[in-house]
Amino acid sequence: MSVLLDISHIDMEFPTPKGTFTALRDVDLQIKKGEFVSLIGHSGCGKSTVLNVVAGLYKATRGGVILGDKEVTEPGPERAVVFQNHSLLPWLTAYQNVELAVKQVFGKTKSKAEMRAWIEHNLQLVHMGHAMHKRPGEISGGMKQRVGIARALAMQPKVLLMDEPFGALDALTRAHMQDSLMEIQAELNNTVIMITHDVDEAVLLSDRIVMMTNGPAATIGEILDVDLARPRNRLDLADDPRYNQYRARVLKFLHERHGKSKPQAMQASADKKVELDNKSVEHAA
């Protein structure tokens, strides 16, 4: 398949009172249509910066992003974002939150009845049909994130950008959400970039895992193709040797390779932690 999204040699520098801070250096990544790509790395390594550049919220200092055959210059609904903290408008109901997006994107092309059906369809897709008319304050964190996803999906984006979408949720809810996301993905086959710091989540959901080195001047360290058949089932995969190999590869990268520029002492302590903690990187970070 052809390349849909071309992130081409991006540098990102921020001016600070102490001089320029280089967040990203030469990040280069091509994503095909229908691909699910995870960006994984330690906190503060610039994963979110990459996502924000693709979203158009930041402008890269050097290099650029090309979607289809157009350069990305500003934010837009064809690159819908699911934010970590749901960022639903708290004064609107779930339905109205999705409606705001749908009206903005399809206001000129769809009739009122079509828009209504489309909003309801998307809310049902994320299993929120029963609580459409509740406000964010009245529903749980997982449900809010579902509405956030419905809002993004309803824009029919070319690329769906997810910034640690399940990071703020408890483990059980997160597992549910991941399963839901896989179902939706099987149905819609969206092109997705997801930021995560959960290794299991990355392996379970992705076609490719992009591992980023630590900042400053973070870049892509390694790319791992996850060649596991879909639909994937978390329980079956737990005993799958290939799944565990992938997991180990990512963990190993996060705990060893990222520390290249760091002094030896820290390197050693990072190595020790690998043995203690093989569940999730966030503890080590």
Partner 1 sequence: MTSSTLTNKKLPTWNLSLFDNNLFNSVVKNIAVPLAGILVFLLLWSATAQNIDTSLGKFPGPAAVWEQFDTLYQEHKRSREKEADFYERQRERNAKRLAEDPGYQPKIRDYTGKETFVDQILTSLVTVMSGFLLAVVIAIPLGIATGLSRTLNSAINPIVQVFKPVSPLAWLPLVTMVVSALYTSTDPLVAKSFLNSMITVTLCCLWPMVINTAVGVAGIDGDLVNVSKVLRLPPLKHVQKIVLPASVPMIFTGMRLSLGVAWMVLIAAEMLAQNPGLGKFVWDEFQNGSSDSLARIMAAVIVIGFIGFLLDRAMLQLQKLVSWDKDSVAH
Residues that bind partner 1 (CB under 8 A): 55-57, 74-77, 79-81, 83, 85, 87, 89-91, 100-101, 104-105, 135, 137, 155
CB of 274 to partner 1, least distance (A): 34
77 or 216: whose CB is closer to partner 1?
Answer: 77
CB of 112 to partner 1, least distance (A): 18
54 or 281: whose CB is closer to partner 1?
Answer: 54
CB of 128 to partner 1, least distance (A): 18
Q: Which residues contact 54 (CB under 8 A, 6 or more apart)?
A: 5, 7, 65, 72, 79, 159, 161, 193
CB of 86 to partner 1, least distance (A): 8
Distances (CA, A) of 211 to 10, 27, 55, 282: 16, 11, 20, 14
- Per the CB < 8 A criterion, the answer to whether 104 and 62 are in contact is no
167 or 237: whose CB is closer to partner 1?
Answer: 167
CB of 77 to partner 1, least distance (A): 6
74 or 227: whose CB is closer to partner 1?
Answer: 74
Give the separation between CA 173 and CA 57, rounded to whole angstroms.
29
161 or 250: whose CB is closer to partner 1?
Answer: 161
CB of 109 to partner 1, least distance (A): 15
115 or 281: whose CB is closer to partner 1?
Answer: 115
